[in-house]
């Protein structure tokens, strides 16, 4: 019996390792036919890279832009789903707004992984021209945002993280302890580690009843961060119930960012 149980457990570990990215990423795929019309209904225009590939969606500022906001979304859906974040930010100030599409999501080619998401984040950040640049993330996107803060500490002027975490392997271990993801997880997003040398202003929003990412994971990220920071814990809110905020709420975030802004590098 013990041998049988050991074999079954070993098979579960093998299956968990083989299928871990399918358990982590839940992309919505869109047909290229009609996607621009769908985007227009949401207020977006295509955001393309130097080869013409759509890498996301943008909303241009309605007045002379005072900066750029890059949104890196969560592990489900696609960039076009994020108008509930983008539109209030766009209404709150004269910012050019961009929502990154991950590889394997929407109409974008490729497949999602730690490597492909971080590379997509780097490509997107390099394409932004209006300074200062702010980064807003949802859920797993905290890893992409934190990596940008690590690689561009003088250019990221501020960040806001919805439902973030300190270390994705620890979160996975708390959700599926029998599969030992802390040992076997391939895509190891580590926001706390990656943000340790960043000193820009960071706002962290934690849903108190988050059923996906334990609130303590977001609290640990907040506690570990050494720069200017603000924390909002929303009582009774679930994982998908905190990112939709009003333009007035975002204006307060802008005030926090600008009041604590570090010196920002100027691109030439």
Q: pLDDT by residue (tens digit) across 65-124?
A: 999 999 999 999 999 999 999 999 999 999 999 999 999 999 999 999 999 999 999 999
Share of the chain above pLDDT 70, in %: 86
209-240 as b/e: b if 16+ CB within 10 A: ebebbbbbbbbbbbeebebbbbeeebeebebb
- Provide the CB-side half-sphere exposure for 186 (13 A, CA): 15
pLDDT tens digit sequence for 44-77? 999 999 899 999 999 999 999 999 999 999 999 9
> What DSSP state is assigned to residue 29?
B
Asked if residue 5 has pLDDT above 50, the reply is: no
Q: What is the pLDDT of residue 182?
A: 53
29: tokens are: 């795929």
167: tokens are: 């270390």
pLDDT band at 9 (very low <50, low <70, confident <90, very high): very low
Asked if residue 238 has pLDDT above 90, the reply is: yes
pLDDT tens digit sequence for 133-183? 999 999 999 999 999 999 999 999 999 999 999 999 888 787 665 555 556
**Phi and psi based region of residue 171 (left: phi greater than 0; alpha: psi -120 to 50; beta: remaining):** alpha
Concatenated DSSP letters for 113-148? Answer: -HHHHHHHHHHHHHH--SSSEEEEEETTHHHHHHHH
Q: What is the pLDDT of residue 33?
A: 85
Q: What is the pLDDT of residue 15?
A: 47
Q: What is the pLDDT of residue 262?
A: 74
Alpha-carbon distance of 49 to 249, in angstroms, equals 32
| pTM for this entry | 0.90
Residues 6+ apart with CB under 8 A from 252: none
42: tokens are: 């949401």
Q: Residue 257: enclosing H or E segment and its boundaries? A: helix 247-259
Question: Is 17:9 a contact under the CB 8 Å cutoff?
Answer: no
Asked if residue 6 has pLDDT above 50, the reply is: no
Asked if residue 12 has pLDDT above 70, the reply is: no
Helices 141-151 and 114-127 pack at an angle, to 10 degrees, of 60
Give mean pLDDT, residues 231-245.
97
pLDDT tens digit sequence for 181-233? 556 778 999 999 999 999 999 999 999 999 999 999 999 999 999 999 999 99
């Amino acid at each position: 019996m013990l041998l049988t149980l050991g074999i079954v457990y070993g098979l579960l570990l093998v299956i968990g390792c083989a299928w871990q990215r399918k358990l982590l990423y839940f992309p919505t795929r869109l047909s290229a036919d009609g996607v621009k019309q769908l985007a227009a209904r949401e207020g977006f225009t295509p955001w393309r890279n130097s080869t013409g590939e759509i890498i996301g969606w943008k909303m241009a500022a309605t007045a002379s832009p005072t900066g750029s906001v890059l949104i890196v979304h969560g592990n489900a859906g696609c960039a076009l789903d994020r108008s509930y974040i983008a539109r209030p930010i766009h209404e709150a100030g004269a910012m050019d707004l961009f929502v990154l599409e991950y590889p394997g999501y929407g109409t974008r080619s490729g497949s999602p992984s730690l490597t492909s998401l971080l590379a997509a984040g780097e490509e997107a950040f390099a394409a932004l021209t209006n300074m200062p640049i702010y980064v807003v993330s949802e859920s797993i996107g905290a890893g992409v945002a934190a990596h940008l803060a690590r690689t561009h500490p003088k250019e990221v002027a501020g960040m806001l993280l919805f439902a973030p975490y300190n270390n994705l392997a620890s979160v996975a271990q708390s959700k599926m302890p029998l599969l030992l993801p802390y040992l076997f997880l391939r895509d190891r997003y580590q926001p706390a580690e990656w943000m340790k040398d960043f000193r820009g202003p960071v706002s962290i929003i934690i849903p108190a009843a988050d059923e996906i990412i334990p609130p303590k994971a977001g609290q640990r990220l907040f506690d570990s961060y050494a720069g200017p920071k603000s924390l909002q814990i929303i009582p009774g809110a679930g994982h998908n119930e905190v990112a939709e905020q009003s333009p007035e709420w975002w204006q307060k975030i802008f005030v926090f960012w600008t009041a604590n802004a570090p010196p920002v590098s100027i691109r030439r």
